[in-house]
Chains A and B, each alone.
Chain A
Amino acid sequence: MQTKRTVFKSRLLPYLLLAPQLIITLIFFVWPAGQAIWQSFLRQDPFGMKDTFIWFANYTRLLGDADYMNALGVTVVFSIGVTALSMGASLLLAVCVNRVIRSQRFYTTLLVWPYAVAPAASGLLWWFMFNPSVGIIPYGLNYLGYNWNFRLNPNDAMILVIIAAAWKQISYNFLFFVAGLQSVPHSLTEAAAIDGAGPVKRFWTIVFPLLSPTTFFLAVINITYAMFDTFPIIDSTTSGGPAQSTNILVYKVYADGFIGLNLGPSAAQSVVLMLIVVLLTIVQFRWIERKVQY
């Protein structure tokens, strides 16, 4: 295949043109990442006067740390919960909107709005609604005989952060699902209708399998979101509590490093997170680009 090639006369010019992006990447991504890796091999004395190089001690301690293992478990539950809830809800909404003919754009616009809300604000919003003293939802639940209190009950806390985090992501997923649904040819569902499949069966045997590239892509995006971008939501609602029950890995990095000022172990945790991101990226490229097709 022939591509258009530009030949620069000066050998310096191409590097100059790339420089802004390269500088940004180096300063804001590569350098901090290198710092974190370096930090993860050090132990700082309590007054921050002196660093000792301790090889992998920070990492081995992490593996034996019950709190860290707890955070790992919490992260798994949280990510799966957020991904399942946000994707399920947005798929349902997308299917509904896809059936509406007239006001499709209107509904789509409305449903995209939550995406514009800042994560901390959305956390706060749900915090108020679920607040045991002033919230409307605990008030309602009280009538049903359930004493809601996310400050005391770990399950309540987990449900709250999952809902708050998932709500924000619904808009994003919704857009992709609507686009995905619209790219399923109409004649396929018509053929299936003539072939004797009811609406529900048509969806699960024809439409949903054809959506699989979208679904898979969104699954990776949502897991990444739940694991790394939900810090403000946790911080503004539960701050990882009660009793570490909503302390996800990202939040623990922050709490240990910036609140606890324990830089070495915190850096080691962030390196572990970095590895997870690398892994997810590989999965994304390997699978989405190639495996998911029909």
Chain B
Amino acid sequence: MASIDVENVGKIYTGGVRAVSDIRLNIADGEFIVLVGPSGCGKSTLLRMIAGLETISEGQVKIGPRVVNDVEPADRDIAMVFQNYALYPHMTVKQNLEYGLKNRRTPKAEIEARVTEAARMLEIGQYLERKPKALSGGQRQRVAMGRAIVRKPAVFLFDEPLSNLDAKLRVSMRGEIKRLQRRLGTTSIYVTHDQLEAMTLADRLVVLNGGRIEQVGSPLDVYHTPASTFVASFIGSPAMNLVKGELHGDKLAIGPSVIDLNGYAPTSGAVTVGLRAEDLRLASEGEEALPFRVDYTEELGAQRLVHGSLGDQSLTIALSAATELSQDMRIVIDPAKLHFFSAETGKRLAGGAIVGAISSAAQPVA
């Protein structure tokens, strides 16, 4: 068990390509941190620097009280689960599990006990004598997890461990990872590009973009108060609608339509307005509303996603499956649920919506 401190860490590859810059992150003992972002955002690089598989170009990483910049991966007291599992193909499942312990000269009885325990926990007992080739994707994933667990490390590192599994298996393995981590209480860092995986697993989310941290916070904080248009469009499904608007005093103009903000306007001038699909609803008779032209719908069973346009800007709304649809509809949103972002920088503007818990920390933790 250990905390992890990432202090001003950056990575510059030979040739001058900068992958990661100025990452500051304090991870508490036992916390489950998810690094999320699109491909190429530096999340894997950051994880590999913590693992010791990449050198750290700038700043330092501390695991517990110890600076590990120059410590070999083997001596950092970490275990890692790789995307392609990285099981040793010429060894049986049992040998795969034992390998790390044998290298550390763990006593035989202890190895036996830990392997049995991990096999029981992950329900892979009956495959111990098989080679990885004879296992299904889900079983291999379990073995890879087992190999991490038997070591009883201070930190688990997961590098997109579920992306090679089919959708159904991914959901069940996701639950299992979460349960295991709770039970073992091991500090974990998990890299994924799947925002749903990130939302469901994380104690705290770290959203990365272009090698920098965009936002750190609990999944709900990030969902309800995204710090930038990037985070807003990345977290949540369907993605948050972002439309251009203009603030005049307490009125918001989106295209030709104008709505009253009831004192929620943070500033004036051009802004980017964020509207969650699920916060939009159909207007009742006589209500002040925005005109919405339906383009096409996606049926999800419990709800339907209606894609269309608001003036000349596209918009998606989530409606209950029972809602009657017509070509032209009128929609409204509670002004408290609007998100405002600077039109120039894309940063969140104070004011606007704060739904649920009033949270302050939309800033990276120092």
Contacts and interface: CB of A to CB of B under 8 A. Distances in A.
Interface in B232-250: none
Given A194-B51, A198-B74, A206-B88, 18 more contacts: A187-B83, A188-B86, A188-B88, A190-B53, A190-B82, A191-B80, A191-B88, A191-B147, A193-B73, A194-B52, A194-B79, A194-B80, A194-B100, A195-B151, A196-B100, A205-B99, A294-B90, A294-B131
Contact of A190 (B72, B86, B104, B147): B86
A190 B54 CA distance: 10
A145 interface: no
B78 interface: yes
Contacts of A294: 89-90, 131, 133
Interface residues of B, number: 24
B78 A194 contact: yes
A187 B86 contact: yes
A209 interface: yes
Contacts of B82: 187, 190-191
A197 interface: yes
A210 interface: yes
Binding site of A, secondary structure by majority: helix, strand, loop or mixed?
helix
B3 interface: no
B267 interface: no
B346 to A, nearest CB: 36
B268 to A, nearest CB: 53
Nearest to A189: B86
24 contacts: A185-B84, A185-B86, A187-B83, A190-B73, A190-B82, A191-B80, A191-B86, A192-B99, A193-B53, A193-B72, A193-B74, A194-B51, A194-B53, A194-B80, A195-B74, A195-B100, A195-B147, A196-B74, A196-B100, A206-B88, A212-B90, A294-B89, A294-B90, A294-B131
Nearest to B76: A194
Q: How large is the interface on A (under 10, 10 to 19, 20 to 34, 35 or more residues)?
A: 10 to 19
A201 interface: yes
Contacts of A197: 74, 99, 103
Contacts of A206: 88
Interface string A156-187: 00000000000000000000000000000101
Contacts of B151: 195
Contacts of A192: 88, 99
A205 B88 CA distance: 10
A210 B90 contact: yes
Interface string B52-83: 11000000000000000000111000111011
Interface in A184-232: 185, 187-188, 190-198, 201, 205-206, 209-210, 212
Contact of B84 (A187, A196, A205): A187
Contact of A195 (B53, B103, B131, B133): B103
A201 B131 contact: no
Nearest to B95: A205
Contacts of B103: 195-197, 201
Contacts of A209: 90
Nearest to B148: A194
Interface of A: 185, 187-188, 190-198, 201, 205-206, 209-210, 212, 294
A197 B100 CA distance: 8
Nearest to A190: B53
A199 B326 CA distance: 68
A139 B63 CA distance: 59
Given A209-B90, A210-B89, A294-B89, A194 B73 contact: yes
A212 to B, nearest CB: 8
Interface in B68-121: 72-74, 78-80, 82-84, 86, 88-90, 99-100, 103-104
B75 to A, nearest CB: 8
B72 to A, nearest CB: 7
A212 B89 CA distance: 12
Shortest beta-carbon contacts, A-B, top 5: A195-B100, A294-B90, A196-B103, A187-B86, A191-B86
A73 B282 CA distance: 95
Contacts of A210: 89-90
A200 to B, nearest CB: 12
B74 A194 contact: yes
Interface in B136-156: 147, 151
Contacts of B83: 187
B254 to A, nearest CB: 49
A192 B80 CA distance: 10
B232 to A, nearest CB: 34
Contacts of A196: 74, 100, 103-104
B337 to A, nearest CB: 44
A212 B72 CA distance: 28
B289 to A, nearest CB: 54
A157 B292 CA distance: 94
Contacts of A201: 103
Contacts of A195: 74, 99-100, 103, 147, 151
B335 to A, nearest CB: 50
A189 to B, nearest CB: 9
A201 B88 CA distance: 14
A194 B50 CA distance: 12
A61 to B, nearest CB: 49
Interface in B181-195: none
